[in-house]
A and B are shown apart, each in its own frame.
Chain A
Amino acid sequence: MPLTGGVVRPLLELAGLRKSYGGLDVLKGVDLAVAPGELVFVIGPSGSGKSTLLRCCNRLEEPDGGTVIVDGENILASGVDLNRVRQKIGMVFQAFNLYPHMTALGNVTLALRKVQGMARAPAEAKARDALAAVGLADKQAAYPIQLSGGQQQRVAIARALALEPKIVLFDEPTSALDPELVGSVLAVMRELKAGGMTMVVVSHELAFARDAADRVVFMDGGRIVEQGPPAAIFGSPREARTRDFVAKLAERS
């Protein structure tokens, strides 16, 4: 259902999103629309609200105001089946958050069995496919502690993908990784992008943002300060705050 001629309905639409913790406003009214297949990259100083923004999209944090519409459904509406909606929204965490008492296969299978009610054999087949898609076909029997950080994060991505989400949220997916392991995770994310997955990525990986992102959003103080194509944001930012931040990021990497 196009809104206007030629514009597709966004897959994720945030409007006037607000969140505060004990009097501290972390999000002060954020509007953001993400089109199907789009990779939106969110940058900003720590405390700018980018993680909170992401976590409001699947209600890991409960927004105080505004709307979150995922695939045409207002997920803040009363009576919405949150556990059903969450299957459409994959999430990948900075600390991987794999279940340490389960194998890689067990990690990916759990929600397929418990949430989607699949029988063991088809769930495991699907989980094996998901692990193969992130290059870990041979690690299905390994426990998280036996895997490198990069491998753990790829299992976490497989865990999210196995549920066939419409959109995947990445919360600093490479920040906890040793530099030499970052590439393997970014490669998987590139493949996802090539496969048409809609993604919102909070990260500091500038090079990745430059060549993979469709749009870069710069947040500061709980608001979106500036957004545009990566070349514009990194090359010729309009706002002074964006310029400062981008300069600092570039210095670091």
Chain B
Amino acid sequence: METLNTILEVFFNAEIAVRVFPFLLRGLGMTLLLCALVIPLGLAGGLALAWAASLERRWLRVLCVVYVDFFRAFPPLVLLIFLFFGLPFAGIDLPSIAAVGIGFFLNASSYYGEIFRAGVESVPKGQWEAARSTGLTRFQTMTAVILPQATRNVLPDLIGNTLEVAKLTSIASVVALGELLHTARLAQSLVYNPTPIVMAAMLYLALFWPVVRLLSRLEHRNIARR
């Protein structure tokens, strides 16, 4: 009983929880804002990569492969630290939000690019031929005919990757962007108690658990469809 009380006191301190909650909410707001910035950036970059890969130009394909390989192998935290703490030595001072935007664009677009490319390749060639034979341009065919089908085919992978990107926004805390993890650590150092970290974890869970549920249902549906 004594131990339980101690645990509650330390990790779930109600008084501290009430005090830091508004503060953490602001951090959560920043996390959501970051998601709203880096997910569309990554998606746009991924679509551009898939488009480039679909053009039958060897050098462009090679370039895409090199890009994708490089940024999938490069640890995103290292990338972000390089952009924010490394580049200033070359006279390039990026605001933290820009460093996060660029870092996530490079990292996320390489993953999204691979997913979209697989999706585009999953659509039968006859779809291209039918659309092109009626006079649609390559681009019109891609946007109106191929991508809607491709996206549906790889939807679980897209959502899964989006979840990874959203979770990864916590690394923005190293460049002092006031997102959820950063505010929680700040609060923890102010109150000398880990309760804010536990609360942040619970907020992350509350945010992502529904997405995980959705993903799991989609994956089961896909297995059933096969």
Q: Which residues of A contact B (CB under 8 A)?
A: 58, 60, 83-84, 86-87, 89-91, 93, 95, 97-101, 110-111, 114-115, 156, 159-160, 163
Give bound CA distance, A249 to B180, whole Å.
73
A-chain residues with CB within 8 Å of residue B137 when the two chains form the complex:
83
Chief secondary structure at chain B's binding surface = helix
For residue B58, CB closer than 8 A to chain A, the reply is no
Partner of A115, one of B126, B130, B134: B134
Interface string of B130-141 (1 = CB under 8 A from A): 111111110010
Interface-located stretch among B41-49, B142-150, B189-197: B142-150
A-chain residues with CB within 8 Å of residue B6 when the two chains form the complex:
none
**Within the complex, what minimum Cβ distance (angstroms) separates A20 from chain B?**
18
| Chain B minimum-CB-distance residue to A169 | B133
For residue B164, CB closer than 8 A to chain A, the reply is no
Give bound CA distance, A171 to B24, whole Å.
64
**Inter-chain residue pair count (beta carbon < 8 A):** 63
Most central of B126, B135, B144 by chain A CB within 10 Å: B135
Known contacts A97-B126, A101-B152; A163 and B132 CB within 8 A of each other: no
Sort A-B residue pairs by CB-CB distance and give the 4 closest, nearest first. A97-B130, A111-B134, A97-B126, A115-B135
Partner of B126, one of A58, A84, A86, A93: A93
Give bound CA distance, A95 to B129, whole Å.
11
Q: How many residues of B contact A (CB 8 A)?
A: 18
**Within the complex, what minimum Cβ distance (angstroms) separates A95 from chain B?**
5
For residue B216, CB closer than 8 A to chain A, the reply is no
Known contacts A97-B126, A97-B127, A99-B127; A89 and B133 CB within 8 A of each other: yes
| Chain A minimum-CB-distance residue to B149 | A101
Partner of B145, one of A58, A87, A99: A99
B134 touching A87, Cβ below 8 Å: yes
A-chain residues with CB within 8 Å of residue B133 when the two chains form the complex:
58, 60, 86, 89-91, 160
B-chain residues with CB within 8 Å of residue A156 when the two chains form the complex:
130
Known contacts A101-B148, A101-B149, A101-B152; A110 and B127 CB within 8 A of each other: no
